[in-house]
Structure 1
Amino acid sequence: MSELSETSVATQQRSPHLLSRWSWRELWQGQLWPVAVALTLIIACVFALSALVVRVEKIMTDQGRSVLAADLVLVSGNPIDDGILASASQRGLTVSAQTRFGTMAFSDENMQLVSVKAVANDFPLRGNLALSSGGAARVQSQHVQPGELWLAERLFSLLAVKEGDDVMVGDAQFTVSGLIAQDPELSFNPFSQMPAVLIHYDDIARTGAVQLGGRVQYRMYFVGADDAVASFRQSIELQAGQRWISESTQGRTGDLIDRARQYLSLTLILVIIMASATLVLTCQHYTTSRRETVAMMKSLGARKAWLWRWLAGQLLMLFAFAAVLGVGLGALLETLLRLPLGDILPDPLPPMGLMPVLTSILVALLVAIPGMGISLIKLVNTPAIAVMQPEGSAQSGSGLFSVSQASPWRFGLVLVPLGALLIWFGDNTLMWLTLLGLAVMLFLLAVIGVAVVALLRKKRWGPAMQLALSRIGRSPLATGAQLAALTASLMLLAVIWLLRTDLLADWQQTLPSDAPNVFALNISEAETQPYLAALDEQNIAHSSMYPVIRGRLVASNGKQFLKGTQTQQDNTNTRVESDQEQSDEALRRELNFTWRESPPVHNKVIAGAWGGEGTVSVEQGIAERLRIQVGDELAFTVNSQPFSAMVGSIRQVEWRNMRPNFYFIFSPDVVAELPATFLVSFRIGADQSPLLNQLGRDYPTVSLMDLRIMASRIQLMLQQVSLSLSVLAALGVVSGLLLVLTLLRLGLSQRQQEMKLYRTLGASRQRISATVWSEYGMMALIAGLMATMGAEGMVAALVHFGFELSPQWHPSLWLGLPVIAVGLVLALAQSMLPKLLQPLKS
């Protein structure tokens, strides 16, 4: 470009064809390759990640809906109005009805309280219902027909029946059709479960069990297009006793899916941030390398308009090239990312549609506008005098992080992606918390980094280290920017992996390996010791025996719940009842109470103290919802018998661990005299069904809740989500490593001119190498330690405020991340130093 003449510039300005050819040659032979690679990286990573996110989210959603047996379920304590069904039909939704009720089942020999599910022909609308009959030659069916009766496995032994026998359900006589091998609907409340039977919806009237005022639950199942289901749900105003169930509200599975979605979104955001930083760095490097060229062109008569056409041609070809290559590489990367999931992903895979392509190109464009535009505006505004004036003489600092004297209005381009973020993630608290935390963290890390370097410079070091520290501390602003950029890249990749680790650790508590999978209920006091002895004889691990009574919470400090009245005149205790209290489900049904001398080992007391006569320990969630505090006086009723207790402690309860848990645990003196039954939980293997049946025969009045099938299904879902998040986390870490390597590579490249100066002044190759090793080793160590602190703080905030989990400490990170940082720097320096020192050879 130094051979450019004024005539050639004028000719190029007059000839669009020659301008295009020149732009193409500049693209292939100039310094735009790093920018093209960065854009390709953004498009490929966003495409691969968004495509995998779309597939995994659809899979998780389908998994969640399969355990609902539908896309959306309406649960009601009263018959559901026909207008709701009409509204669903108008939107093209498929509807299936179900009624649930409890009643007695009678065989010739025994009787048993059962939970009846009366279902329609098309149940389930999602998932699989497996019904098995036919003796040795089993025949599988997926739908219940009129007149059929299907029993849970345990009922065959409890009722002493086999296929073909007659069983009375309420007033109706049925012939046993066979076994319920698999029911898609999961239920997690062992206290309210009874052995299940399936009958057809048309046979409800024959049973005579559904009576006015009886405890009956009505359900409607809906399936259809997502937008139609969402529109239908918004159009329905729920009445008292009604609620929706969807994949995001279904207990453990809903919690799992919701947090997995949050992690997927967060990972995508962090990958975009890191890829964007890579683009900004490479574009700044390009701007620096072409500054003298632009100055030369201006000195020979090139105008800004022509320069913009010249650059626009290059950038248009560059973006088209990056889009094609990025989408292609992204598709390949998404395929590779799915390889570890091959055994658990469904076949065929859910389609990903065009959204990943559009998203990746749009994200790259939004990032490129400020990422490239700010640097290019600076480049076009380069004065002609810059041909003779080095960039560093007109600026504070040098290199990639120099401070330009150009007009600051160009930084307004940052508002373009920020506006898109506002539209795209306007109500995503987790995303804004991440960005705000990252911005604050960057500022703090930059300040800390500069302070650490200043402190180190006060100490006496060897010549190489002294020269390295002098180089680092030459410009506090540039040093702070360099350390902040390196620290941020290390911190972000650590955040992605630590969040994944914390989420998986939390999900392991959803169903720990030793979680009980059978509950024995309704054990009489006389049977407690024999029953425990029977379990011990078979070496079955079990919980303590818990007494259970059923009652209601009716008042707090003299204030009656659900009635809106105030019975106590003390103004200090007067408070207005909230809508949340009025609608809290725990107030509208009987709860399971128990009493203990000591707290359960799987509960944690977080306020007050355990024990004391006349006290009750309250679960944290219900205490927060009903504003119950330590020292409050609570009133209860059991079988219309009132009693009260003072709140002695608040407990943190992990409801997902499938262990016996209670809202209220009393001191024995409060309720020990009330009649109670007992429960115990234990764990048996898949091959121990005969033992379970033997317990059912030996203790016919004890209800056994076998949750093994449900537990295995949760474990499968957990496995799918965990492996998917591990793959996504690995992709995020790879993106972070690419950013770190790009940052270090460009930083080392800019040292080449300084190395020439050092050599001219008589510095040896060994001294120059030692100085570079010391400089970047020290920066890597400082950045690694600061990234560790930043990652711990950021993960703690995200886990607590975003995922509503308890923050964890990560001791291995404090050693691992600094070692990784130093290792990356040393490896890169080892590979680049010989090339950088090549011009110095004699």
Structure 2
Amino acid sequence: MTEMSESQIPIRQKGQSLLLRWSWRELWQGQLWPVAVALTLIIACVFALASLVVRVEKIMISQGRSMIAADLVLRSANPVSETVLQEARQLGLTVTQQTSFGTMAFSDQAMQLVSVKSVASDFPLRGELVLRGGSQTQQQVKPGELWLSERLFSLLEVKTGDSVAIGNAELTVSGAIVSEPELSFNPFSQMPAVLIHESDLAATEAIQPGSRVRYRAYFNGDDALLKQLQADVVLSPDQRWISETTQGRTGEMIERVQQYLSLTLILVILMATATLVLTCMHYTASRTETVAMMKSLGARKSFLWRWLARQLGLLFVIAAVAGLSLGGILEWLLRLPLRDVLPEPLPDMGVMPWIVSLLVAVLVAIPGMGITLWRLLDAPALAVMQKGMLATTSAARYLLVLIPLTALLLWVGDNPMMWLTLAGLIGLLGVLAGLGLLLVAGLRRRRWGAAMTLALSRIGRSPLVTGAQLAALTSSLMLLAVIWLLRTDLLEDWQQTLPPDAPNVFALNISPTEQQAYLDVLDRNGLMRSDSYPIVRGRLVSINGVNPRAETTATEVQQDERQEGDESLRRELNFTWRETIPVHNTLVAGEWHLAPGGVSVETGVAERLGIKLGDTLGFTVNSQPFSATVTSLREVEWRNMRPNFFFIFTPDVMVNLPATWLVSFRVAADQSELVNQLGRDYPTVTLLDLRTMATRIQAILQQVSLSLSVLAMLGVCSGLLLVLTLLRLSLSQRQQEIKLYRTLGASRQRIRATIWSEYGLMAVLAGGIAVFGAEALVAALIKWGFELPVTWHPGLWLVLPLLSVLLILLIISSMMKQLLRPLGR
């Protein structure tokens, strides 16, 4: 009965079942499982990295948008047109407004210059506004309320419930502003803040013709709708869009984080792809005889394709399940170091990492596996008897490379960072391989011991194979060095945003008669302070007799940023004069105050306006014109929160102009009362307390530092995986040669010494060349990609060759017994 049942099973179905079982055995008992492992690692790494990239980017974007109180802000010197606001509402965007201006606030006992912000009840759209009135807190301003900065309570000598006059309006103090989302890096634009509701603005009557008023419109909504609004609105010259990537130095930080995340992801994909290609080539070499035997027994290519397709299908399903599971665990492990700084709840990573990881695996596998497997199926039947016989196959298989390249073109687009990286890698691969071969050729001309002579002979006998191995090993070491060095350079640059000794309080408008007494108070209390600077506000009006504003206006209309122009031409600047260059500035051209009537110019504004040494600049201060000759150019780090200036004059130029003084100093957390006392003792001095902003920036820097460190470690692990795979496959190919050496009478010790010599030499060469390549590529990326000053890394010249040698020692030590096993038989 059983035999009858089996005879009724269609032969085709039995064949399919047999083919499936065979494919399963081939997958695990053959040589295809390393390919499955490589594909699993690609999916896991890409999933983990993409997940963390998505979360970090969302966190950074959220932080950046919190600092501008919305997804997008329109800044204007005039009221924002109702047409713009109506269009935004029609697009489905959430809209609110703010009007801000400087004025005097009066209490019964004192007065103080303040920055009044008139906002609606729905302000802010992003971030957190915390207002405390008595024991209650709230997050929005209501009609009839007046909220003061903490410092104003002592400066105005008021408490909650007292009256304060803002213009012609008498308002009752509702409480204190604990924190507000909007932050500025410009200490000269900050005054103690006062919040009122927009319905109370008219009652103040503080805005009069000629008043300096700033208007902002805030928009929240989908990014596509925000871009559409920006495209539809034609801005006037006094208007500017502000987003999380354009908000001063914080915007630069966020943009560079995104660049680094994308760069790390593509480098990890490249290294994982190389791992997959190497393992697949090894599988093809090990299965050529099997395919040739099947062909000699009558198997058709269609049958072989089905046989291989089932294996690849099983392989991809297993790799996908294992890779996504491993990737989820890896992503969780990667977040562990960040648990103290990541917000709760975490941003949702969405479906993008799932899709990207599987799509990348497919795109990588098509050429990485397809080219070599295509050649495998073209293996001739005669390869059974003639080992190493090459298949004649169509060059069309190389067209498979176009599939991932097309996807890469669509993904990278016009990103110059990616193209710079890819172009540099392609060029460096050829250079590094050729350099390695030249070094080997030079070494072969000298006399060496027997082991080294055999090793050099082995390396020089196959220059193409040796060049490929050197290029692969060198590029692997180089890529992991690039990831780590970029992380190090970026973090060093960002740490300058807020150094440990950065000042957090600025004192402005110090009269000349009070200057020395004010400095004495700071010194008696042991506060770390800057030099004091005289300040005169004025404008740049001409360069070599030509009005720069008139020249730039015509071209600004052609630019995306036309509404902003150059800030040095659009507003009054803070001028100062000194005998010596500030210690935190760097002279890059000319000589400091070579002659009377000179001015030193910051390099950024000089580059933007085309200012050169020897140019004559015209200025006005309170309608008084004067001129100065450019004697030097200075490099200024604007992010260090120290007093910095576009123009620093020789003292003789401005000696007759009335000036006030500026000094910055650092206050500890327990010295708040000292700040309040300074405000009471010197009521005419404007104190700008930046401690809240500094705390916020430090939190962002901590997130950035830990995130980049974790991502860099993942990139380094991918590079190490590629190096280990490369070495293991290369060593496994030596077994046949070792048999030949043994047949010719070579001893174990001689063979062991030859292996150590060959791979030790390759390790030193690869490590040394990788250092050169990494320094060159990082320098190019830093200079033209991230636009930062280039620095060199002396420690890398020791660490990378040492790491290369250690990896060689590890792999050879683990495989030496296996390599020498045939000798004992």
Q: TM-score, normalised by structure 2?
A: 0.96
Conserved? CA contact 1:107–1:168, under 8 Å: yes
Count of residues in Structure 1 that have an aligned counterpart in Structure 2 = 811
Conserved? CA contact 1:559–1:565, under 8 Å: no
Choose from 215, 219, 239 the match for 1:218: 215
Conserved? CA contact 1:13–1:19, under 8 Å: no
2:167 counterpart of 1:167: no
1:555 matched residue in structure 2: 542
Choose from 490, 508, 522 the match for 2:495: 508
AA at the equivalent of 1:412: L
Tell me the secondary structure at the aligned position of residue 190 of structure 2.
Answer: coil
1:398 matched residue in structure 2: none
2:600 matched residue in structure 1: 617
Conserved? CA contact 1:12–1:19, under 8 Å: no
1:91 matched residue in structure 2: 91
Tell me the secondary structure at the aligned position of residue 132 of structure 1.
Answer: strand
Q: Give how far 1:390 is off.
A: 2.7
Decide whether aligned partners of structure 1 residues 778 and 680 sit closer, same or farther in structure 2, where only a CA change above 3 A counts.
same
The more displaced of 297-306 and 709-718 is 297-306
The more displaced of 647-656 and 710-719 is 647-656
After superposition, what is the alpha-carbon deviation per residue over 1:210-237, rounded to whole angstroms, capped at 9, x for unaligned? 1233211111111122332232222222
- Distance in 1 separating the partners of 2:324 and 2:558: 51
Q: What are the equivalent positions in structure 2 for 1:528-567 lying under 5 Å apart? A: 528-564=515-551
- Distance in 2 separating the partners of 1:239 and 1:676: 34
After superposition, what is the alpha-carbon deviation per residue over 1:27-85, rounded to whole angstroms, capped at 9, x for unaligned? 12211001001111111100110011011111111111111111111111111111111
Choose from 650, 656, 659 the match for 1:676: 659
Q: What are the equivalent positions in structure 2 for 1:102-251 lying under 5 Å apart? A: 102-134=102-134, 138-251=135-248
Tell me the secondary structure at the aligned position of residue 95 of structure 2.
Answer: strand
2:41 matched residue in structure 1: 41
- Distance in 2 separating the partners of 1:286 and 1:577: 60
1:485 matched residue in structure 2: 472
- Distance in 1 separating the partners of 2:538 and 2:507: 20
Tell me the secondary structure at the aligned position of residue 229 of structure 1.
Answer: helix
- Distance in 2 separating the partners of 1:648 and 1:756: 76
- Distance in 1 separating the partners of 2:814 and 2:756: 12
2:765 matched residue in structure 1: 782
Unaligned runs of 5+ in 2: 1-10
Q: Give how far 1:13 is off.
A: 12
After superposition, what is the alpha-carbon deviation per residue over 1:192-227, rounded to whole angstroms, capped at 9, x for unaligned? 221111111111001101123321111111112233
The more displaced of 509-518 and 577-586 is 577-586
Tell me the secondary structure at the aligned position of residue 187 of structure 2.
Answer: coil
After superposition, what is the alpha-carbon deviation per residue over 1:81-100, rounded to whole angstroms, capped at 9, x for unaligned? 11111111122211111100
After superposition, what is the alpha-carbon deviation per residue over 1:113-143, rounded to whole angstroms, capped at 9, x for unaligned? 1110011111111111111221xxx321211
Choose from 431, 439, 458 the match for 1:452: 439
Unaligned runs of 5+ in 1: 1-10, 395-403, 567-574
2:797 matched residue in structure 1: 814
After superposition, what is the alpha-carbon deviation per residue over 1:662-699, rounded to whole angstroms, capped at 9, x for unaligned? 11111111112211111001101011001111111221
Q: What are the equivalent positions in structure 2 for 1:437-476 lying under 5 Å apart? A: 437-476=424-463
- Distance in 1 separating the partners of 2:385 and 2:808: 34
AA at the equivalent of 2:690: L
AA at the equivalent of 1:588: R
AA at the equivalent of 2:630: V
- Distance in 2 separating the partners of 1:430 and 1:565: 29
AA at the equivalent of 2:569: L
Conserved? CA contact 2:378–2:392, under 8 Å: no
Q: Give how far 1:389 is off.
A: 2.1
Q: What are the equivalent positions in structure 2 for 1:133-532 lying under 5 Å apart? A: 133-134=133-134, 138-391=135-388, 406-532=393-519
2:681 matched residue in structure 1: 698
Conserved? CA contact 1:100–1:118, under 8 Å: yes
AA at the equivalent of 1:23: S
Q: Give how far 1:162 is off.
A: 1.8
Decide whether aligned partners of structure 1 residues 406 and 451 sit closer, same or farther in structure 2, where only a CA change above 3 A counts.
farther
Conserved? CA contact 1:13–1:306, under 8 Å: no
After superposition, what is the alpha-carbon deviation per residue over 1:310-336, rounded to whole angstroms, capped at 9, x for unaligned? 211211111111111111111111111
Conserved? CA contact 1:564–1:577, under 8 Å: no
Conserved? CA contact 1:12–1:18, under 8 Å: no
- Distance in 1 separating the partners of 2:555 and 2:322: 63
Q: Give how far 1:576 is off.
A: 8.9
AA at the equivalent of 1:427: D
1:632 matched residue in structure 2: 615
Conserved? CA contact 1:151–1:179, under 8 Å: yes
Q: Give how far 1:306 is off.
A: 2.2
AA at the equivalent of 1:466: T
2:735 matched residue in structure 1: 752
AA at the equivalent of 1:224: G
2:601 counterpart of 1:604: no
- Distance in 2 separating the partners of 1:70 and 1:677: 36
The more displaced of 434-443 and 246-255 is 246-255
Choose from 705, 714, 717 the match for 2:697: 714
Q: TM-score, normalised by structure 1?
A: 0.94
- Distance in 1 separating the partners of 2:428 and 2:35: 27
- Distance in 2 separating the partners of 1:363 and 1:215: 54
Conserved? CA contact 1:287–1:375, under 8 Å: yes
AA at the equivalent of 1:269: I
The more displaced of 461-470 and 299-308 is 299-308
- Distance in 2 separating the partners of 1:60 and 1:35: 37
- Distance in 2 separating the partners of 1:737 and 1:285: 19
Tell me the secondary structure at the aligned position of residue 832 of structure 1.
Answer: helix
Q: Give how far 1:807 is off.
A: 1.2
Tell me the secondary structure at the aligned position of residue 529 of structure 2.
Answer: coil
Q: What are the equivalent positions in structure 2 for 1:733-748 lying under 5 Å apart? A: 733-748=716-731
The more displaced of 409-418 and 442-451 is 409-418
1:571 matched residue in structure 2: none
AA at the equivalent of 1:117: K
Tell me the secondary structure at the aligned position of residue 623 of structure 1.
Answer: helix
Quote the RMSD (CA, aligned, Å).
1.8
After superposition, what is the alpha-carbon deviation per residue over 1:567-619, rounded to whole angstroms, capped at 9, x for unaligned? xxxxxxxx999967992232121111111111111111212221121111111
AA at the equivalent of 1:215: R
1:802 matched residue in structure 2: 785
Conserved? CA contact 2:548–2:609, under 8 Å: no
Decide whether aligned partners of structure 1 residues 491 and 109 sit closer, same or farther in structure 2, where only a CA change above 3 A counts.
same
- Distance in 1 separating the partners of 2:549 and 2:499: 38
AA at the equivalent of 1:75: R
Choose from 691, 695, 713 the match for 1:730: 713
The more displaced of 779-788 and 313-322 is 313-322
- Distance in 1 separating the partners of 2:163 and 2:824: 99
1:8 matched residue in structure 2: none
